[in-house]
Amino acid sequence: MKPSLRTTVSAALILALALPFSVLAQDAPAPQKLDQIVMQQEALKHDLDAGKTEGMTTRQVNAIRKAQSEVFSVTEGKTSLEQLSMNEKVRLENALERINAEVKNTRAGHDDKQVCWRERMTGTNTKVTRCGTESEMREAREGARDWLERPKVCGDNCG
């Protein structure tokens, strides 16, 4: 019996996402080879081009293709992860996570998707890389928005 596209894609993505990207926060190079990631994404692209999209909507396929174009643009002309800048590593990580979330095709898959972003530390020009799940990033964004919207001057009803 032939394995389904979802099973094949999931296996390929799990291998690709097995990169220890948690070391991104420490700026340490990951031992996974960049050519393996590119080969896996090319195999997935070939399957999508061949019409092996059973169980996927057109929107999901388009989201995967868009994320793959990001992967290919970041890795173009590069042979190892050490050649990528920190911003390129973040873009690569996020694109691979978007692909994985579409293949998993669940709300939990989207909320558990690991994302990294660069943000400037307050009072400095230093940028730090923060990583977390999509839901953690959303909670941090909403918390910051709530803090900005709270009253700045305390009136009679303080506390």
Q: Which residue has the higher pLDDT, 45 or 22?
A: 45
Report if residue 32 sits inside a domain: yes
Average pLDDT over residues 34-41: 89
Determine the Cα–Cα distance for residues 105 and 89; give it in Å rounded to an integer. Answer: 24
* pLDDT greater than 90 at residue 73: yes
21: which residues sit within 8 A by CB, 6+ positions away? 30, 89, 93, 114, 116, 131
Determine the Cα–Cα distance for residues 31 and 130; give it in Å rounded to an integer. Answer: 20
Report if residue 146 sits inside a domain: no
pTM of full prediction above 0.95: no
Specify the number of domains making up the chain.
Answer: 1
Report if residue 88 sits inside a domain: yes
Flag the least confident range among 14-18, 34-38, 60-64, 85-89: 14-18
Report if residue 40 sits inside a domain: yes
Distance, CA of 39 to chain centre: 18
Most confident by average pLDDT, 23-27, 35-39, 141-145: 35-39
Report if residue 141 sits inside a domain: no
The tens digit of pLDDT for each residue in 117-138 reads 788 888 898 988 888 888 888 8
Q: Give residue 108's pLDDT.
A: 55
Nearest CA to 86 among 129, 22, 32, 36?
A: 129
Report if residue 93 sits inside a domain: yes
Report if residue 23 sits inside a domain: yes
The tens digit of pLDDT for each residue in 96-105 reads 988 888 877 6
The tens digit of pLDDT for each residue in 56-65 reads 788 888 989 9
Report if residue 52 sits inside a domain: yes
3-state helix, strand, coil in the chain (%, to 5): 60, 10, 30
> What domain range includes position 90?
5-113
Q: How many helices (H) and strands (E) does the chain have?
A: 6, 2
- Residue 79 has what DSSP assignment? -
Q: Which residue has the higher pLDDT, 72 or 110?
A: 72
